[in-house]
């Protein structure tokens, strides 16, 4: 007989008392199926139909033909792959160098860069792209203008409206993610593995190359994969830079099919199914690779005090890298946004322009009704999504990990499904579902609420299950053994212990909902307009300096949410 | 008083098969006694304890705690954990990190049917903390305590409701060796003072031998021997118990003849050995002769008129401070023995090894009985 006891937390404790009526898990399964499965089913059905909500049910392959045998099929595929692979590579490179310098070397001032490196997380993807258009547009981009002036160049050295431009603008926004994941990987590496290499006579450089990098290989693979998938799913940069530059990827093709007149839902659905399969394959590979990684035990989940490499004089090169990253990637986009928001029309920084600075854009927004409506919608949606998603996922996580009910793993799976669904695909699926839906919620913010909650269930699930798993069952059992009934135990022990994880998940979902773009772009219209989409359409109409002002207000709102939240919840860390 | 009758508990595994964690276990703990379940990890000790606590629902059997049936598969009684008159100390201590030391101990008084008034709570918690010498730490957060203090806090929390019985699941296994030794004494002292019926679970034979009134040795879900600590040590009834408690030498052989009251002669590879017989063994049975390392006597010259003497060669000598640990080769067999360090032994030296018949015990061989 094996002598290894199962971890306590998967053992149930007081089965009889703990078994809430079978109703709760059933309702949970119902809600999750409705949110995660039904739209995908409708999307799948829709991709084989001639029209939305047909009077007669007839299957056809013509949508797939239109989607995958057109003259654009090959170029879209090529662009998508180059965009995703290029972004994954660049993001990974920048994130890894940053993480290594900060975590594992003696680069001067490295500790203050840890919070700085994640600051760009607060900048919505749409704004990141707009800021880089301001900086690198071949016609008026500040960096181009400055370089042409300094070096007397004939033409602009950079062109943001190109594939490399898209890759750059998208990558710099994703670097914090890669940074955080690599920091975690570096942290969980057992330093004694490197020390024993040194004791075997390997030099610093040899150790780095032959031990450190080798050990990190599995982690690197999964980070690259997740970055690839996320880029493939993203629509911010493809919308703001790709569409004007006529560089189309899968997400923009879906959007364009939707924007034809009349909307070509069928082709959109067929494209969406393809993208969904791609992304699901990526996620599947990712979960497999991380599981493999665990098997090889390079990542032990334990935090070690890592060894620091002495870079010698090279540490100033490292410092230079960190400074450059800070100035160009973190600071510059904020500054250019701020500057532009005070301009009546777009102009290069100069003494002349300085005298034109004014609050005109902000005054304009003050009286601009659509802005207030969008602001209100965005804030409401962020608060409601975060609350609904966290309540739902806390319950689900509790059922999955604490009740021994048969089949509760199904709930876990259902809650994981949305992670494979790209935002724009979810938008497409929800359109197909709700256009024909008996309850008229299409075109209201309720559809957006449903969309956001669905999208962020996996995130909520992660922080909820994380904190539920951390509650050692014996903590709850001790309450029962002290005479506390099930409800007393839940209220006095379980809930208080859950609070930090709940709070961390809540704030994260709040932030990402507030800036959500790729689902909203298909679902938000008129009364249900949200900020990120308002920003997008006004930018398309050329009101760039007003857009900058909206962007600044958006950032301020996000910072306020975060600040208020920290104030209320005391010491709670954000989970990335 | 705790009485357990024919307790069975099976766990369903993920892939359909099941683990028999506890198989028809019965025992009785008299009032005020300190009773220990001892056994290797995975043998079902914790499961038994949790069934008594009500944290696990058994498949069948009966459990009685201080006169009241708390579980019976016959008429379907199942008193939930929070209604049983028990205090429990968990292996992980299960100290609630969001509460202070005081609030942790006060918790059992603030929940359940019988609530106490605030001043009563303060008095009882103060008393409980005094008892475990944590009197002045009440306002600390529980997480700021050291391992030993957390252990005592868990004890105070288990005792504050003045339960009828105390259940302890390996409470000392997370402490370092020195602290463990001290807590062993303190815990036993406290139990004596309060005269509380105690069921203690451990895999550590020293803890079991030094603290208990009665020990039950468990293996693979069943109790294989129950008895006083001295009997368990001196008269193990099975090879498993002999092996598990203390260190033992074993010599395989066959029982030649039985010589009256519990004595017999066994033919082993090193010769014929006279020894005690515990079980009803008949001549011809496969047996192992077990003998404790400290019972073996070494002689430089062959002692006259002594039986059970075998010639051997010193293989290794290790100085362990309290005693010398030597291994002696008897042909293919190696015996482990503890000797006073006044003895001067050299490797390779030839010696006469005496296995006093009173310290040797023939037990049925478990390996061969499984094969047949
Ligand atoms: N909740 C559970 N689910 C499945 N198997 C369990 C569970 N709890 C205990 N077991 C199994 O039951 C056996 C006895 O476990 P346990 O009582 O914890 O042993 P001990 O406390 O003696 O180390 C082990 O094989 C263990 O794996
Ligand atoms: Mg145990």
Which pLDDT belongs to residue A55?
64
Fold of A1-41+360-576: MetI-like fold (1.10.3720)
Helix (H, G, I), strand (E, B) or coil at B26: strand
Looking at residues A240-251, what average pLDDT do you find? 93
How far apart CA A88 and CA A86 sit, in angstroms, is 6
Which of these CATH numbers, 1.10.3660.10, 1.20.140.160, 1.10.3720.10, 3.40.47.10, describes A72-248+282-358?
1.10.3720.10
| Top-ranked range on mean pLDDT: pick from A82-96, A468-482, B80-94, B171-185 | A82-96
Nearest to A497 among B78, B98, B161 (CB): B98
Answer yes or no: are the C-beta atoms of A276 and A421 closer than 8 Å: yes
What pTM does this model have?
Answer: 0.74
Please name the residue of chain A whose CA is at the shortest distance from the CA of residue B166.
A481
Protein residues placing their CB within 5 Å of the ion ligand 2:
B 46
CB contact (8 A) between residue B57 and residue A15: yes
- Is the C-alpha dihedral spanning A231, A233, A234, A237 positive or negative? positive
State the greatest distance between any 2 C-alpha atoms of chain A, in Å, as a whole number: 83
Burial class (CB in 10 A: 0-12, 13-18, 19+), B159: buried
Choose the weakest-confidence range: A37-51, A123-137, A206-220, B221-235: A206-220
Q: Write the DSSP assignment of A379-393 as a string of letters.
A: HHHHHHHHHHHHHHH
Q: Which residue has the tokens 């919308």?
A: A239
How far, in Å, are A283, B266, B293, B328, B359 from residue B289 at the CA level?
Answer: 61, 8, 13, 16, 10
Which pLDDT belongs to residue A57?
67
- Give domain limits for chain A: 1-41+360-576, 72-248+282-358
Name every chain A residue with its beta carbon within 8 A of the beta carbon of B57.
Answer: 15-16
Nearest to B82 among A15, A484, A492 (CB): A484
Confirm whether A1-41+360-576 and A72-248+282-358 share one CATH topology: yes
In this model, does residue A33 exceed pLDDT 50?
yes
Ligand positioned closest to the Cα atom of A3 = 1
**A487 interfacial to chain B (CB closer than 8 Å):** no
Closest CA to B251 of B317, B324, B305, B331: B331
pLDDT-based confidence at residue A570 (cuts at 50, 70, 90): low
In this model, does residue A574 exceed pLDDT 60?
no
Burial class (CB in 10 A: 0-12, 13-18, 19+), B61: buried
pLDDT in 10s for each residue of chain B, 372 residues:
999 999 999 988 766 788 899 999 999 999 999 999 999 999 999 999 999 998 888 999 999 999 999 999 998 889 888 889 999 998 888 888 888 999 999 999 988 777 889 999 999 999 999 988 888 888 888 888 888 899 999 999 999 989 999 999 999 988 888 888 888 999 999 999 999 999 999 999 999 999 999 999 999 999 999 999 998 998 888 889 988 988 889 888 998 888 877 788 999 888 888 888 877 788 888 899 999 998 899 888 888 888 888 889 999 988 888 888 999 998 888 999 998 878 888 888 898 999 998 888 888 887 644 333
CB contact (8 A) between residue A480 and residue B81: yes
Please name the residue of chain A whose CA is at the shortest distance from the CA of residue B52.
A481
Q: Which residue has the tokens 């002692």?
A: B303
CB contact (8 A) between residue A482 and residue B220: no
Which pLDDT belongs to residue B14?
65
Which pLDDT belongs to residue A210?
77
CB pairs A-B closer than 8 Å? 94
CB contact (8 A) between residue B92 and residue A472: yes
Residue A333 CA to ligand 1 centre (angstroms): 58
How far apart CA A34 and CA A440 sit, in angstroms, is 17
Please name the residue of chain A whose CA is at the shortest distance from the CA of residue B49.
A481
A453-466 per-position pLDDT tens digit: 999 999 998 888 88
Query: Cα–Cα–Cα angle for A277, A283, A286, nearest 5°?
Result: 145
Residues 274-333 of B with CB under 8 A from A: none
Phi then psi for A267, rounded to 5 degrees? Answer: -65, -40
**A485 interfacial to chain B (CB closer than 8 Å):** yes
How far apart CA B205 and CA A112 sit, in angstroms, is 53
Residues facing residue B330 across a β-bridge:
B333
How far, in Å, are A98, A194, A304, A504 from residue A301 at the CA level?
Answer: 21, 17, 9, 19
Q: What is the dihedral of CA A287, A290, A292, A297, to 10 degrees?
A: -160
Q: A interface mutation test: which of B48, B56, B82 has the most A CBs within 10 A?
A: B82
How far apart CA A131 and CA A125 sit, in angstroms, is 10
Which pLDDT belongs to residue B281?
80
Which pLDDT belongs to residue B81?
85
Nearest to B42 among A2, A13, A479 (CB): A2
Looking at residues A248-259, what average pLDDT do you find? 92
pLDDT-based confidence at residue A208 (cuts at 50, 70, 90): confident
**Closest approach atom of ligand 1 to CA A1:** 25
Ligand positioned closest to the Cα atom of B45 = 1
Ligand 1 binding pocket mutation candidate from A1, A5, A9, A11 (most atoms within 8 A of CB): A5
How far apart CA A555 and CA A334 sit, in angstroms, is 9
In this model, does residue A14 exceed pLDDT 70?
no
Q: What is the dihedral of CA A221, A223, A224, A229, to 10 degrees?
A: 120
Give B47's contacts (C-beta < 8 A, 6+ positions apart). Answer: B9, B21, B22, B56
| Distance to chain B for A491, nearest Cα, Å | 11
Answer yes or no: are the C-beta atoms of A551 and A337 closer than 8 Å: yes
Which pLDDT belongs to residue A40?
93
User: In the sheet that B222-227 helps form, which strands lie side by side, from edge to edge?
Assistant: B86-89, B165-169, B197-202, B34-38, B214-219, B222-227
């Amino acid at each position: 007989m094996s002598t290894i006891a199962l971890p306590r937390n998967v053992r149930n404790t007081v089965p009889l008392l703990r078994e809430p009526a079978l109703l709760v898990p059933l309702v949970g399964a119902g809600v999750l199926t409705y949110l995660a499965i039904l739209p995908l089913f409708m999307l799948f059905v829709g991709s084989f139909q001639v029209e939305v909500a047909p009077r007669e049910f007839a299957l056809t392959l013509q949508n797939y033909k239109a989607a995958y045998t057109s003259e654009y099929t090959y170029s879209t595929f090529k662009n998508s792959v180059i965009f995703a692979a290029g972004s994954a590579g660049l993001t990974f490179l920048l994130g890894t160098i940053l993480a290594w310098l900060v975590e594992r070397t003696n680069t001067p001032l490295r500790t203050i860069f840890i919070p700085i490196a994640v600051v760009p997380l607060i900048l919505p993807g749409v704004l990141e792209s707009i800021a880089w258009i301001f900086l690198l547009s071949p016609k008026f981009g500040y960096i181009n203008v400055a370089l042409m002036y300094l070096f007397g160049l004939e033409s602009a050295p950079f062109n943001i409206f190109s594939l490399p431009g898209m890759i750059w603008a998208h990558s710099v926004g994703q670097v914090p993610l890669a940074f955080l994941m690599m920091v975690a990987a570096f942290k969980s590496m057992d330093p004694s593995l490197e020390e024993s290499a040194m004791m075997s006579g390997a030099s610093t450089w040899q150790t780095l190359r032959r031990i450190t990098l080798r050990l990190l290989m599995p982690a690197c693979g999964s980070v690259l994969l997740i970055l690839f998938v996320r880029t493939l799913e993203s629509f911010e940069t493809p919308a703001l830079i790709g569409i004007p530059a006529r560089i189309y990827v899968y997400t923009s093709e879906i959007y364009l099919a939707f924007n034809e007149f009349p909307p070509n839902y069928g082709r959109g659905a067929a494209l969406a199914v393809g993208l969904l399969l791609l992304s699901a394959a990526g996620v599947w590979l990712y979960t497999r690779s991380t599981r493999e990684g665990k098997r090889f035990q390079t990542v032990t989940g334990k935090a070690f005090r890592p060894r620091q490499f002495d870079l010698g004089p090279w540490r100033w090169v490292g410092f230079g890298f960190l400074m450059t990253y800070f100035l160009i990637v973190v600071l510059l986009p904020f500054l250019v946004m701020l500057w532009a928001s005070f301009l009546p029309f777009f102009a290069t920084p100069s003494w002349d322009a300085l005298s034109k600075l004014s609050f005109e854009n902000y005054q304009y927004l003050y009286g601009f009704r659509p802005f207030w409506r969008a602001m209100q919608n965005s804030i409401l949606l962020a608060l409601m999504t975060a609350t609904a998603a966290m309540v739902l996922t806390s319950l689900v996580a509790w059922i999955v990990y604490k009740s021994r009910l048969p089949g509760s793993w199904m709930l876990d799976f259902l809650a994981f499904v949305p992670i494979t669904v790209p935002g724009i695909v979810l938008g497409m699926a929800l359109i197909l579902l709700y256009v024909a839906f008996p309850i008229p919620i299409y075109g209201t913010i309720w559809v957006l609420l449903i969309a956001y909650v669905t999208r962020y269930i996996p995130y909520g699930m992660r922080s909820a299950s994380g904190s539920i798993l951390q509650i050692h069952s014996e903590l709850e059992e001790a309450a029962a053994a002290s005479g506390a009934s099930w409800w007393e135990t839940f209220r006095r022990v379980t809930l208080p212990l859950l609070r930090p994880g709940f709070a961390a998940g809540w704030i994260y979902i709040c932030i990402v909902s507030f800036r959500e773009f790729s689902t909203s772009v298909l679902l938000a219209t008129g009364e249900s307009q949200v900020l990120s989409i308002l920003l997008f359409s006004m930018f398309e109409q050329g009101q760039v300096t007003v857009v900058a002002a909206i962007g600044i207000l958006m950032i301020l709102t996000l910072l306020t949410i975060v600040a208020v939240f920290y104030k209320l919840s005391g010491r709670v860390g954000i989970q990335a | 008083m705790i009485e357990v009758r024919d307790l069975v508990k099976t766990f369903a595994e993920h892939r359909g098969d099941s683990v028999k964690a506890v198989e028809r276990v019965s025992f009785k703990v008299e009032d005020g006694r300190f009773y220990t379940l001892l056994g290797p990890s995975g043998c079902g000790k914790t499961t038994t304890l949790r069934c008594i606590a009500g944290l696990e629902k058994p498949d069948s059997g009966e459990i009685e705690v201080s006169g009241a049936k708390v579980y019976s598969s016959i008429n379907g009684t199942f008193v939930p954990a929070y209604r049983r008159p028990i205090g429990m100390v968990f292996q992980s201590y299960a100290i609630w990190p969001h509460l202070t030391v005081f609030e942790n101990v006060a918790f059992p008084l603030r929940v359940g049917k019988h609530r106490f008034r605030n001043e009563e709570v303060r008095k009882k918690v103060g008393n409980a903390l005094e008892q475990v010498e944590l009197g002045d730490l009440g306002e600390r957060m529980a997480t700021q305590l050291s391992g030993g203090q957390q252990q005592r806090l868990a004890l105070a929390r288990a005792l504050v409701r003045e339960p009828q019985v105390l259940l302890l699941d390996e409470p000392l296994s997370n402490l370092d060796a020195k602290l463990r030794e001290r807590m062993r004494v303190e815990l036993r002292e406290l139990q004596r003072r309060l005269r509380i019926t105690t069921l203690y679970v451990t895999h550590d034979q020293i803890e079991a031998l030094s603290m208990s009134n009665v020990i039950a040795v468990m293996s693979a879900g069943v109790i294989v021997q129950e008895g006083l600590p001295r009997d368990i040590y001196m008269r193990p009834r099975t090879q498993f118990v002999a092996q598990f408690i203390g260190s033992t030498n074993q010599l395989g052989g066959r029982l030649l003849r039985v010589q009256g009251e519990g004595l017999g002669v066994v033919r082993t590879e090193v010769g014929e050995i006279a020894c005690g017989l515990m079980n009803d063994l008949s001549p011809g049975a496969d047996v192992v002769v077990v003998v404790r390392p400290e019972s073996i006597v070494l002689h430089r010259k062959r002692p006259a008129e002594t039986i059970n003497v075998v010639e051997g060669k010193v293989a290794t000598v290790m100085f362990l401070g309290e005693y010398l640990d030597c291994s002696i080769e008897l042909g293919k067999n190696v015996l482990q023995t503890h000797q006073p360090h006044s003895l001067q032994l050299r490797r390779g030296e030839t010696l006469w090894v005496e296995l006093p018949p009173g310290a040797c015990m023939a037990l049925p061989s478990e390996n061969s009985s499984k094969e047949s």
